[in-house]
Structure 1
Amino acid sequence: MPKSSEQKDGSETETPNFCCIDSFTHLASSTKSKNNTFPMKRTVRPFFILLILLVFVATLTSRAILRKGILSIELETRVFTRDPPSLNSTLLKYAAVEIGEEKSRQEIQQLLDGNFASQARHRTFVSWRRFIHHDGGDRNLPATLRSPLFYRYWLDFRRVLHDWARKRRFQPGIMSELTRSVKVPLDRYNKVNTNAVDSGEKKYSSCAVVGNSGILLNRNYGSLIDAHEFVIRLNNARVDNYESKVGKKTSISFVNSNILHLCARRSGCFCHPYGPNVPIVMYICQAVHFLDYTVCNASHKSPLLVTDPRFDVLCSRIVKYYSLKRFVEETGKSLEQWSSAHDGALFHYSSGMQAVMLALGICDKVSIFGFGKSSSAKHHYHTNQKAELHLHDYEAEYAFYSDLVDGRKPIPFISEKFKIPPVVMYR
């Protein structure tokens, strides 16, 4: 504490204490200290106070400008790196509705009960029965168990159909299971030496999906197709005399069950245009075709695999989404009118579309050949067919392929955890 000064009358007066005041105001103090420090003039003190205020205001202003600049940079970054356009929720809702679901359930239950009264089911059953040497019987009567051989086939048929129907539901993560359900059985058949740990994870390095469009005749893609590790061909399309255009290597024959139904009428259920050692992967168009599968599977030397019904449901929803989107954009009509324009419950994806989906699940890179059309090209390169099936919406499927090639647009119904591999489309 500074010492007090004595007045003439002997009283004491305390000297003010400025030790806690800012250094600037300490310099401006008008009180004399005992070490003879010169006091600052009163006219200078306001100038220093004003200077301090200006420095303070300038500091706040600079901080505000800096924050505004950083915010503008962040906003610009968000604009340039914004998320891809989201999927249409209304289309997703409509695409998830399966128009023929109730009818399909009834069909499956009738088959499990042995009721083949409908004309289509009865024809299939008769062909099946003839194959195992049991002719005769009234077409309006349910199936009867006439022999141990028939009984064995019948139990196999019911078991496979029941398991398929039980699993038939939507599961977005099914794409990640395709390596285990398809690739692993094929690797075992081909005696590929894989570790048990990663056998369900490792994919084919490159896959070629060869469609049947007549545009293939305009190019010589044969050697390029055969250079892929895995080659998928569709619906038993011929390769003989077309090797320079479509190649000759075949890893699997991907077919719909209508193809197998035709094969089942042949002796020995022969369905091997690429040789008896080429595996067949098939998706079921009609539940009754499991009769053909039961018989043909017993005679096939190579694997005859049926696609997981959850995978079928996923493919169906994706194609319907793109078809609904195209219908609304091109016609301007309501979504309720889509069904009448596309055969309602009969609407279905093409074999090529599901083959591409299969490749996405089991391959690190996917190349697509022979998908598309031209006014001067045939519908199939190996036939004279020019007309397309109204059962499919090929334009919608082409839009799907385009999004796959783009690689930046979201694909409806596929789990975000699944990474879609790079896709190249050759025209």
Structure 2
Amino acid sequence: MPKSPEQKDGSENQTPKSNFIDSFFTHFSTTKPKMKRTVRPFFILLLLLVFIATLTSRAILRKGILSIELEARVFTRDPPSLNATLLHHAAVEIGEEKTRREIQQLLDGNFASQARHRTFVSWRRFIHHDGGDKTYPATLRSPLFYRYWIDFRRVLHDWARKRRFQPGIMAELTRSVKVPIDRYNKAVNVDSGDLKKYSSCAVVGNSGILLNRNYGALIDAHEFVIRLNNARVDNYESKVGKKTSISFVNSNILHLCARRSGCFCHPYGANVPIVMYICQAVHFLDYTVCNASHKSPLLVTDPRFDVLCSRVVKYYSLKRFVEETGKGLEQWGSAHDGALFHYSSGMQAVMLALGVCEKVSLFGFGKSAAAKHHYHTNQKAELHLHDYEAEYAFYRDLMEGDKPIPFVSEKFKIPPVVMYR
């Protein structure tokens, strides 16, 4: 039997591996032989165009996704990161063990290493009770003396127990500092649970550069004004203003005040609250006595807040030491009296303002070769236990507003900060 043209072309010997397109056109040409030469080029061209279109679409899509990724990287750029090594070293408190021993000695009634308060018996000479026009010393056997002693041990024990690192402490400052002050000032809604912050705060430092400007009216225009370490305002009103919302001091200031009759420590008036941080645990003796006769609030900063401030300043000090000297971190302690190194009163006052204020303005922070260290004294030398340059670097980061602050919780929103020079 004669074979068909298709059989002569070898179609009967085709295997499953045959090209799909050839099979398709072979079938098509079998059914419609007259269109074989005209249709096959058309379909090849059509498939080629589909193939090119597919490649082009994929390229465009890929390019679009890449551009979106690049755009996202630009607008979600990560903030500058903190140095992990510096964070680790800043978290180490060189004098921690010594501080614990001193606290325990005080709780046990042993004042042998505490300078003026050398014994429990000698302490009674510095405790006085206001009684009208006369001041009566509290004798060793008096109930008043033992009441002070019990109060002293209680506040010291509570302070020592809470003395640890807690990054979220900034969010608690409104409740621990602002609420007691507002309650004393009989502010509206103080007990309603409303923890609204002050709209604007001025932190007035004591630098001599304040004498170069007349910022008095601008300072007084703030809702809340913080002054440091009982700096004078009399005869300096045009330079530093006269309004004072709180007096922020270190416990050394209160230690001196406690030696005066009635524990007087009110240069801005008896109704101005005092916020104090503890430099030495033994100063709780002075706090206990003064707090008994203090009319306005006498608040001690939360020790967790103290630890946070200490770490922040030490981080900036370590960073500056390495960058400027090129020396190793292990040499920082000898250069800054590591066990005695401490933040300044101004630095912690600024941190306090960050926690209780919507906007913060800084006055009298900085120095000049032609200016005195303090505007109200003749002091020119700086205390070696502070690293003011490191604190200035901290203030600059606050003002720039786009840099992370070491040890401060990321959940805490730092308010806008402006410095007037």
What range is the shorter-chain TM-score in?
Answer: 0.7 to 0.9
Runs of 5+ consecutive residues of structure 1 not aligned to the other structure? 35-39
Tell whether the 8 Å contact from 1:5 to 1:14 is kept in structure 2 after alignment: no
Distance 1:133 1:97, change over 3 A: same
Give the Å deviation of 1:198: 7.9
Give the Å deviation of 1:84: 1.1
Give the Å deviation of 1:58: 2.4
Give the Å deviation of 1:129: 1.4
Distance 1:148 1:50, change over 3 A: same
Matches of 1:115 and 1:9, distance apart in 2: 116
Distance 1:371 1:21, change over 3 A: same
Give the Å deviation of 1:19: 21
Give the Å deviation of 1:137: 28
Query: CA offsets, 1:274-324, max 9 Å, x none?
Result: 000000000000000000000000111100000000000000000000000
Matches of 1:349 and 1:9, distance apart in 2: 98
Matches of 1:391 and 1:237, distance apart in 2: 20
Tell whether the 8 Å contact from 1:115 to 1:143 is kept in structure 2 after alignment: no
- In the alignment, does 2:110 pair up with 1:122? no
Matches of 1:111 and 1:395, distance apart in 2: 35
Tell whether the 8 Å contact from 1:210 to 1:369 is kept in structure 2 after alignment: yes
Query: CA offsets, 1:212-269, max 9 Å, x none?
Result: 0000000110000000000000000000000000000000000000000000000000
Matches of 2:47 and 2:175, distance apart in 1: 74
Distance 1:25 1:351, change over 3 A: farther
Matches of 1:15 and 1:165, distance apart in 2: 90
Distance 1:257 1:77, change over 3 A: same
Q: Structure 1 stretch 63-72 or stretch 356-365: which is displaced more?
A: 63-72
Match of 2:298 in 1: 304
Give the Å deviation of 1:14: 20
Distance 1:7 1:392, change over 3 A: closer
Give the Å deviation of 1:53: 2.3
Tell whether the 8 Å contact from 1:4 to 1:15 is kept in structure 2 after alignment: no
Match of 1:26 in 2: 27
Give the Å deviation of 1:141: 24
Query: CA offsets, 1:6-56, max 9 Å, x none?
Result: 9999999999999999999999x663699xxxxx24243133223222322
Matches of 1:17 and 1:339, distance apart in 2: 81
Distance 1:6 1:262, change over 3 A: closer
Distance 1:142 1:390, change over 3 A: farther
TM-score when normalising by structure 2: 0.88
Tell whether the 8 Å contact from 1:112 to 1:162 is kept in structure 2 after alignment: yes
Distance 1:135 1:56, change over 3 A: closer
Tell whether the 8 Å contact from 2:199 to 2:357 is kept in structure 1 after alignment: yes
Tell whether the 8 Å contact from 2:203 to 2:226 is kept in structure 1 after alignment: yes
Matches of 1:317 and 1:233, distance apart in 2: 23
Distance 1:41 1:102, change over 3 A: same
Matches of 1:12 and 1:61, distance apart in 2: 40
Matches of 1:30 and 1:362, distance apart in 2: 90
Give the Å deviation of 1:76: 4.2
Query: CA offsets, 1:153-206, max 9 Å, x none?
Result: 000000000000000000000000000100000010000xxxx69855510000
In the alignment of these two chains, the number of paired residues is 417
Query: CA offsets, 1:72-131, max 9 Å, x none?
Result: 342244135411110000000000000000000000000000001125152596774123
Matches of 1:9 and 1:154, distance apart in 2: 117
Tell whether the 8 Å contact from 1:128 to 1:292 is kept in structure 2 after alignment: no
Matches of 2:242 and 2:15, distance apart in 1: 109
Give the Å deviation of 1:329: 0.3
Tell whether the 8 Å contact from 1:250 to 1:274 is kept in structure 2 after alignment: yes
Match of 1:84 in 2: 79
Give the Å deviation of 1:343: 0.6
Tell whether the 8 Å contact from 1:127 to 1:265 is kept in structure 2 after alignment: no
Matched position secondary structure for 1:12 = helix
Distance 1:48 1:161, change over 3 A: same
Distance 1:426 1:17, change over 3 A: closer
Tell whether the 8 Å contact from 1:282 to 1:306 is kept in structure 2 after alignment: yes
Give the Å deviation of 1:149: 1.1
Give the Å deviation of 1:66: 2.9
Q: CA RMSD in A?
A: 5.6
Give the Å deviation of 1:4: 18
Runs of 5+ consecutive residues of structure 2 not aligned to the other structure? none
